[in-house]
Amino acid sequence: MHLSERISDDYKKALKSGDKDRVSILRMVKAAVKNREIEKRAPLLDDEISGILRSYVKRAHESIEQFSKAGRTDLVEKEKKELAIIQSYLPQQITEDEIRIIIKDAINETGAAGTKDLGKVMKAVMSKTKGLADGKLVNNLVKEMLETTNAA
């Protein structure tokens, strides 16, 4: 089943069951997908829909961070619920340890010698982790590992 079909089916189920939160979120996702399809003038592939979902995940993380700083626990909980629903449509994220292994391999492959080679390593790592790892986390881990490589 394609991701768009799964989202539509879940939307219909949520409407029937009266799950207002899920209906609201899935309606928003369906609208974003439809808008992108209109722009593209063709149906979206699953990886394109995943990209839309990842952008919502990124926004939700940023919102949670901002609401936490402002002490708005009610809005933090709302965003966390939305985040959980959206993430259920994305592939399982890889762990930090798995990312470190991929980074180590990329450093060896590219011959990176320090933080000046950050771009080369990021390009290699992101091609392997596309959609499976948060780019900000990967960037922080690459910097950390290149700094320790540089110091050694």
Give the dihedral sign, CA 57/63/64/66. positive
Domain ranges of the chain: 3-87, 96-151
**What is the CATH topology of the domain spanning 3-87?**
Hypothetical Protein Yqey; Chain: A; domain1 (1.10.1510)
pLDDT above 80 for 30: yes
Amino acid present at 60? A
Q: What is the mean pLDDT of the chain?
A: 90
Which one is predicted more confidently, 7 or 117? Answer: 7
CATH 3.50.50.60 assigned to domain 96-151? The reply is no
Amino acid 66: pLDDT = 95
How many other C-beta atoms are found inside a 10 Å radius of the C-beta of residue 16?
A: 9
CA atoms within 13 A of residue 83's CA, in its CB half-sphere:
15
Amino acid 134: pLDDT = 80
Q: Considering the entire predicted model, what is its pTM?
A: 0.74
- Give the contacts of 2 (CB within 8 A, at least 6 positions apart): 46
Residues above pLDDT 70, as percent of the chain: 97
pLDDT above 70 for 62: yes
Amino acid present at 61? H
